[in-house]
């Protein structure tokens, strides 16, 4: 079994070169790409989160960890591609207004893309109006909202309200996710579903579009 400790440590210390090197070694050793992400990269980022919480790491260091993690994910991404040529449906994804966290959202988008969906990634700090415009422009069937801060959770409710005010709620399913989200919250704000991780989001989209 591949030893992921070096890879996780390099995410924690924000050493992008080392992350790239060890991710490449894992790929060459034919380690399951999802395992590289979950057991290596996300495992490291979980430690960053715990240390950030108790002020044992600060924003500049966390940004370096985030950059290192993204570099590793980018290396793994081509291995996850489904190879399908027709899309199963279109998903508009973004992190809600006021929230700048994009790693989890991008992972969800990547997994959806790799599972055969067309993904329109609007990035971070996305307003309800921007979601509406993207749904209309791309005839999307799903809006996927990500949020990592308790202070921005209610922006998900606002976004759903803006979609409804624009007459889109009937035809478009809304799914939500992110560290502070619970099933109870998802039900309370009238979303169509909640997933705890990227693989769960793919299952949810598949269920909702069938």
Distances 47 to 2, 36, 43, 88, 185 between C-alpha atoms, Å: 19, 16, 7, 36, 26
**30 part of the interface to ligand B1M, by CB under 6 A:** no
**68 part of the interface to ligand B1M, by CB under 6 A:** no
- Dihedral (C-alpha) 110, 113, 117, 118: value to the nearest 10 degrees? 90
Least separation in angstroms between residue 136's CB and ligand B1M is 19
Site string for ligand B1M, 133-152 (x = CB under 6 A): -----------xxx-xxxx-
Residues 165-184 that bind ligand B1M (CB under 6 A): 175-180
Least separation in angstroms between residue 110's CB and ligand B1M is 10
Q: How far apart are the first and last CA of the chain?
A: 37
Q: Which is nearer to ligand B1M, 85 or 125 (CB)?
A: 125
Measured CA to CA, the distance from residue 34 to residue 48 in angstroms comes to 20
Alpha helices in 43-153 (DSSP H): 43-53, 59-80, 103-114, 128-138
Measured CA to CA, the distance from residue 58 to residue 189 in angstroms comes to 33
Least separation in angstroms between residue 43's CB and ligand B1M is 10
Binding site residues, ligand B1M, CB under 6 A: 42, 45, 48-49, 52-53, 59, 62-63, 66, 98-105, 107-108, 144-146, 148-151, 175-180, 195, 197-198, 201
């Amino acid at each position: 079994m591949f030893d992921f400790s070096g890879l996780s440590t390099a995410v924690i210390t924000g050493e992008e070169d080392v992350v790239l090197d060890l991710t490449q070694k894992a790929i060459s050793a034919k380690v399951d790409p999802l395992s590289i992400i979950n057991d290596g990269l996300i495992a490291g980022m979980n430690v960053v989160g715990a240390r950030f919480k108790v002020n044992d790491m600060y924003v500049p260091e966390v940004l370096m960890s985030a950059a290192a993690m993204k570099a590793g994910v980018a290396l793994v991404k081509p291995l996850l591609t489904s190879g399908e040529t027709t899309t199963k449906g279109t998903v508009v994804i973004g992190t809600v207004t006021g929230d700048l966290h994009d790693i989890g959202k991008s992972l969800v988008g990547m997994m959806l893309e790799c599972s055969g969906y067309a993904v329109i990634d609007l990035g971070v700090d996305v307003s309800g109006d921007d979601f509406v415009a993207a749904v209309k422009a791309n005839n999307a069937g799903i809006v996927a909202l990500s949020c990592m801060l308790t202070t921005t959770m209610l922006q998900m409710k606002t976004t759903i309200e803006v979609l409804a005010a624009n007459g889109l709620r009937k035809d478009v399913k809304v799914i939500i996710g992110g560290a502070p989200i619970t099933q109870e919250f998802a039900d309370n704000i009238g979303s169509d579903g909640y997933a705890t991780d990227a693989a769960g989001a793919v299952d949810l989209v598949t269920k909702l579009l069938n």
